[in-house]
């Protein structure tokens, strides 16, 4: 990587039009974060299967045609399209047969055809395959009724999947099952991928107890570390679970220092709201270049963002800090709205906007313009096949059940106002196919 110093938070803020840390629109927060985060550079070679879900480090160019030859798409008979009659049955003599993987090709003189199997190379001069179910066989002759097949049908062309010299996959792609298959069809046993992003995370707050500890009066079990673990696991990053860190300046400084040394990013939950009595904000500010935002969103208003060093004033390695609010729903929503794409960008992945559904809201929703709201919803198909969405129970930012019951987030955009019953809204579905 270049040795040039990364821009300071101040410089980044100056480049984000409409930047206002006291009421920051989600779009501006995302732009700021995208400008802040560095991208992983280190490349490693992995066996094809191990590369699933990893970020491709270089473009992959095909060095031969896939498929390498014209071949049959059906079990049937290969023939010359020009010999098909449009008005009467076409009768041809079966001169031989071709199977997938066979190298010595049968040949057919005019008036002849070749019995052929799916994937078998097309014999010279033959350009059309009639599926076997459309043929009447009589001894060594077939009869094809007019109109059942057109010239060129059921033939796969050489290079139709990938032409030699064509870019098969671009660097920055998160490899999916089809991509593994594509790479295999090119004969690649190993693939260059970027090293995995390392993400450290911990929970802060003196009221937090870890599972297995007794739940003292006034305390709650730390649930954020489990939702965070789950969300990070799904992103495919390398996890460093640092547990619950007590609200103690020394413990916090040591946790942040270790995270800055070992990880590319550190995610914390709790301790960043305005009225916080604890030390989290203070230690964050001392250890790094950190901003405390109030984001124009609901839930999830407070957030700390910046860089954390291994020790106060230390140069060299630092980690990007995402200091999330403590409320369990706010943690998840802030993660999906602001952190997820940032971690993907840090991993070297090319940005891919998530697909949204347009669904009719089953009820009216109150919404103030000037902030983005993420309500938890259940989307389903109505009898007529259209998508509709129902908001799940109480939307309080501490009520994790609303998130667990939902199958998507209803996104009420920054400028949007009240929603009438039946009005279409955007929904980010939780689950995808691949
Ligand atoms: P804070 O952002 O620290 O003010 O926390 C807001 C609310 O979230 C408080 O009710 C906390 O008890 C709760 N909270 C903070 N961290 C966690 C956590 N890791 N697990 C569950 N609840 C939490
Ligand atoms: Mg707190």
Task: Quickly state the pLDDT bin for 225 (edges 50, 70, 90).
Answer: very high
Model pLDDT for residues 170-187, shown as the tens digit of each residue? 999 999 999 999 999 999
What are the structural domain ranges in the chain?
Answer: 9-41+196-346, 43-66+160-194, 71-156, 357-429
Q: Which residues contact 352 (CB under 8 A, 6 or more apart)?
A: 174
**Residue whose token pair is 């009066």:** 217
What's residue 317's pLDDT? 84
Supply the CATH classification number for the domain 357-429: 2.40.340.10
Any residues with Cβ below 6 Å from ligand 1, and which? 203, 205, 207-208, 220, 222-224, 269-271, 273, 276, 325-328, 398
Cα(86) to centroid of ligand 1, in Å? Answer: 76
What does residue 259 show for φ and ψ, rounded to 5 degrees?
-65, -40
How far, in Å, CA of 107 to CA of 113, rounded? Answer: 8
How far, in Å, CA of 106 to CA of 289, rounded? Answer: 73
Helix (H, G, I), strand (E, B) or coil at 414: coil
DSSP 412: E
What integer is the mean pLDDT of 285-308?
A: 95
What's residue 1's pLDDT? 46
**pTM of the full predicted structure?**
0.93
pLDDT for residue 69 is more than 50: yes
Model pLDDT for residues 235-248, shown as the tens digit of each residue? 999 999 999 999 99
DSSP 81: G
Model pLDDT for residues 180-217, shown as the tens digit of each residue? 999 999 999 999 999 999 999 999 999 999 999 999 99
Q: Which of 274, 279, 300, 326 to mutate to test the pocket of ligand 1 (most atoms within 8 A of CB)?
A: 326
pLDDT for residue 434 is more than 80: no
pLDDT for residue 76 is more than 70: yes
Domain 43-66+160-194: top CATH class: alpha beta
- CATH architecture, domain defined by 71-156: Beta Complex (2.170)
DSSP string computed for 238-259: EEEEEEEE-S-HHHHHHHHHHH
Give me the torsion for CA of 254, 257, 258, 259, rounded to 10°: 120
Task: Quickly state the pLDDT bin for 300 (edges 50, 70, 90).
Answer: confident
What integer is the mean pLDDT of 147-154?
A: 97
Higher pLDDT, 253 or 276: 253
Query: Residue 115: CA atoms inside 13 Å, Cβ hemisphere, count?
Result: 11
Mean pLDDT of the chain: 95
Do the beta carbons of residue 353 and residue 411 sit within 8 Å? Answer: no
What's residue 190's pLDDT? 98
Model pLDDT for residues 13-55, shown as the tens digit of each residue? 999 999 999 999 999 999 999 999 999 999 999 999 999 999 9
- Radius of gyration, CA atoms only, the chain: 30
What's residue 314's pLDDT? 83
Q: Which ligand ends up closest to the CA of 222?
A: 1
How far, in Å, CA of 164 to CA of 175, rounded? Answer: 21
**Residue whose token pair is 């729903």:** 329
What integer is the mean pLDDT of 348-375?
A: 96
Supply the CATH classification number for the domain 9-41+196-346: 3.40.980.10
How far, in Å, CA of 199 to CA of 265, rounded? Answer: 5
pLDDT for residue 117 is more than 90: yes
What's residue 278's pLDDT? 73
pLDDT for residue 139 is more than 80: yes
Q: In the structure encoding, which two tokens stand for residue 324, read together? A: 């999330």
Cα(271) to centroid of ligand 2, in Å? Answer: 4
Give the other-Cβ count within 10 Å of 67's Cβ: 17
**Residue whose token pair is 């250890």:** 287
Cα(325) to centroid of ligand 1, in Å? Answer: 7
Sheet with 90-98, strands from edge to edge, namely 128-131, 76-79, 112-116, 90-98, 141-144, 135-138
Which range among 114-123, 153-162, 313-322 shows the weakest confidence by mean pLDDT? 313-322
| Distance from chain centroid for Cα 417 | 30
pLDDT for residue 3 is more than 70: no
| b/e map 264-293, b = 16+ CB within 10 Å | bbbbbbbbbbeebebbbbebbebbbbbbbb
C-alpha separations of 5 from 9, 143, 314, 331 in Å: 12, 76, 14, 31
């Amino acid at each position: 990587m270049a040795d040039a110093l990364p821009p300071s938070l101040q410089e980044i803020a100056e480049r984000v039009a409409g930047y206002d840390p006291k009421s920051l629109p989600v779009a501006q927060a995302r732009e700021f974060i995208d400008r802040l985060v560095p991208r992983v550079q280190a490349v490693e070679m992995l066996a094809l299967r191990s590369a699933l879900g990893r970020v491709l480090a270089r473009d992959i160019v095909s060095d031969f045609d896939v498929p390498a030859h014209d071949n049959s798409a059906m079990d049937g008979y290969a023939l010359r399209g020009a010999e098909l009659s449009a008005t009467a049955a076409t009768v041809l003599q079966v001169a031989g047969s071709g199977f997938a993987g066979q190298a010595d090709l049968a040949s057919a003189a005019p008036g002849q055809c070749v019995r052929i199997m799916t994937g078998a190379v097309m014999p010279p001069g033959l350009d059309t395959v009639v599926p076997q179910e459309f043929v009447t066989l009589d001894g060594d002759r077939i009869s094809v009724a007019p109109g059942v097949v057109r010239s060129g049908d059921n033939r796969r062309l050489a290079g139709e999947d990938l032409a030699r010299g064509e870019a098969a996959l671009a660097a920055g792609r998160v490899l999916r099952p089809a991509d593994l298959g594509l790479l295999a069809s090119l004969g690649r046993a190993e693939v260059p991928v970027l090293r995995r992003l390392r993400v450290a995370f911990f929970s802060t707050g003196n009221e937090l107890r870890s599972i297995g500890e007794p739940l003292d009066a006034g305390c709650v079990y730390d649930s954020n570390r489990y939702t965070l673990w789950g969300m990070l696991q799904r992103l495919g990053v390398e996890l460093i679970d640092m547990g619950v860190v007590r609200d103690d300046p020394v413990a916090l400084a040591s946790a942040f220092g270790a995270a800055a040394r070992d990880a590319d990013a550190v995610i914390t939950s709790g301790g960043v709201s305005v009225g916080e009595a604890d030390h989290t904000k203070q230690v964050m500010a001392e250890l790094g270049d950190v901003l405390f935002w109030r984001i124009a969103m609901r839930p999830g208003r407070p957030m700390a963002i910046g860089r954390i060093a291994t020790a106060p004033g230390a140069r060299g390695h630092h980690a990007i800090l995402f200091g999330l609010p403590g409320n369990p729903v706010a943690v998840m929503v802030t993660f999906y709205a602001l952190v997820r794409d940032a971690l993907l960008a840090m991993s070297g992945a090319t940005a891919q906007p998530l697909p949204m559904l347009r669904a009719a809201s089953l009820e009216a929703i109150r919404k103030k313009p000037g902030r983005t709201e993420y309500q938890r919803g259940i989307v389903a198909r109505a009898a007529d096949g259209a998508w509709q969405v129902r908001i799940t129970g109480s939307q309080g930012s501490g009520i994790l059940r609303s998130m667990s019951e939902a199958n998507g987030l209803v996104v009420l955009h920054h400028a949007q106002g009240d929603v009438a019953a039946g009005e279409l809204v955007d929904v980010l579905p939780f689950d995808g196919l691949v």
